[in-house]
């Protein structure tokens, strides 16, 4: 695997995470339980879409086949997407959305911290730019974790249910492939195994503070996205996201 191939895979992975999570959060527009949460979630969605644009544009440049951010977002099929299974999971209730968000925010925050030391100019600039907004995302979802986990009996139960449902998708965030090895050797990216340790410490401390329990999945974790194998949700997300550019190519806003 060449350095360029490895970098393309890594950029697609990050870009697809941002794109799919942004699309998912956008589904809350007009539907959240109060205007404040509606705007907060869609703000995060727009931040993620902004990151996806940077990452997919750079991925297209590195690939060198002339594909634009739009080509990559709208013209790839499910098997070519490399987003983690976590971000494509259903919004569910507000508790599921918050738990999914918090798990991802802590992961993204520490990944960006690592990328701020990257030897690659783009990755470093991307991390420096995005760390501010992700710091806010993490602070927001952390606040909700505590208030809902340590809230009423009902909110506590809903949060625990969400944690139990989503925990099996956390292992895959840290799965490393040949691309990681190549880029780590170049000093371009941090080791996901190192990030896993910091992530576990932080997330488990929050779960405890929120009076919730770290789920026991009996060692089971869901894998697949590194090879393009997704859960049943991604196809529906892509159908909704891609229908316009695919049915009317080159449509302008």
Contact between residue 212 and residue 160 where contact means Cβ atoms under 8 Å apart: yes
Min separation Cβ 112 and other proteins, Å? 20
Residue among 21 and 44 whose Cβ is closer to other proteins: 44
DSSP tally for the chain: helices H, then strands E: 10, 0
The nearest distance, CB 142 to other proteins, in angstroms, is 11
Task: For residues 37 and 223, give the distance between their C-alpha atoms in angstroms, rounded to a whole number.
Answer: 31
Site string for other proteins, 136-175 (x = CB under 8 A): ---xx--x---x----------------------------
Residue 20 within binding range of other proteins, rule CB under 8 A: no
Site string for other proteins, 102-131 (x = CB under 8 A): ------------------------------
d(CA 19, CA 143): 24
In the complex with other proteins, which residue's Cβ is closer, 40 or 192? 40
According to the binding rule CB under 8 A, does residue 35 interact with other proteins?
yes
Assess contact for 253 and 201: CB atoms under 8 A. no
CB of 88 to other proteins, least distance (A): 24
- Is 35 or 251 the residue whose CB approaches other proteins more closely? 35
In the chain, the N- to C-terminal Cα span, in Å, equals 39
Least distance between other proteins and beta carbon 34 (Å):
5
69 closest CA partner among 54, 82, 83 = 54
89 close to 233: Cβ distance less than 8 angstroms: yes
How many amino acids of this chain bind other proteins (CB under 8 A)? 11
40 binds other proteins (CB under 8 A): yes
Nearer of residues 56 and 134 to other proteins, judged by Cβ: 134
Chain mean position to CA 114: 16
Q: Minimum Å distance from CB 147 to other proteins?
A: 6
From 3-11, 29-37, 121-129, 199-207, span contacting other proteins (CB under 8 A): 29-37
CA distances to 44, 59, 61, 238 from 187, in Å:
30, 18, 20, 34
When the beta carbons of 150 and 168 are compared against other proteins, the nearer one is 150
* Minimum CB distance to other proteins smaller for 142 or for 196: 142
177 touches other proteins (CB under 8 A) = no
Q: Which helix (H) or strand (E) holds 208?
A: helix 192-209
Burial class of residue 248 in the structure, from the number of CB atoms within 10 Å of its CB (0-12 exposed, 13-18 middle, 19+ buried): exposed
Contact between residue 145 and residue 72 where contact means Cβ atoms under 8 Å apart: no
Contacts of 8 (CB under 8 A, 6+ apart): 59, 62, 63
- Residue 39 vs 244, nearer CB to other proteins: 39
User: Which residues are at the interface with other proteins (CB under 8 A)?
Assistant: 33-36, 39-40, 43, 139-140, 143, 147
């Amino acid at each position: 695997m060449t350095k360029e191939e490895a970098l393309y895979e890594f950029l697609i992975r990050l870009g697809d995470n941002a794109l799919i999570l942004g699309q998912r959060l956008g589904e809350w527009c007009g539907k959240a339980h109060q205007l404040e949460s509606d705007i907060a979630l869609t703000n995060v969605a727009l931040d993620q879409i902004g990151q996806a644009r940077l990452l997919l544009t750079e991925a297209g440049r590195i690939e060198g086949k002339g594909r634009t951010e739009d080509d990559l977002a709208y013209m790839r099929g499910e098997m070519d997407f490399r987003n983690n299974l976590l971000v494509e999971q259903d919004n569910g209730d507000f508790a599921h959305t918050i738990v999914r968000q918090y798990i991802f925010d802590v992961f993204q925050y520490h990944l960006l911290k690592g990328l701020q030391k990257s030897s690659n100019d783009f990755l470093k600039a991307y991390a420096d730019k995005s760390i501010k907004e992700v710091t806010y995302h993490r602070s927001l979802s952390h606040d909700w974790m505590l208030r809902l986990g340590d809230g009423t009996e009902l909110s506590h139960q809903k949060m625990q249910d969400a944690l139990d449902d989503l925990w099996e998708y956390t292992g895959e965030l840290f799965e490393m492939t040949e691309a990681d090895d190549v880029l780590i050797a170049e000093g371009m990216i941090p080791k996901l195994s190192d990030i896993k340790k910091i992530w576990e410490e932080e997330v488990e401390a929050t779960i405890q503070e929120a009076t919730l329990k770290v789920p026991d999945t009996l060692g089971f974790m869901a894998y697949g996205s590194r090879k393009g194998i997704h859960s049943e949700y991604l196809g529906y997300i892509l159908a909704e996201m891609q229908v316009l550019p695919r049915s009317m190519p080159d449509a302008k806003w």
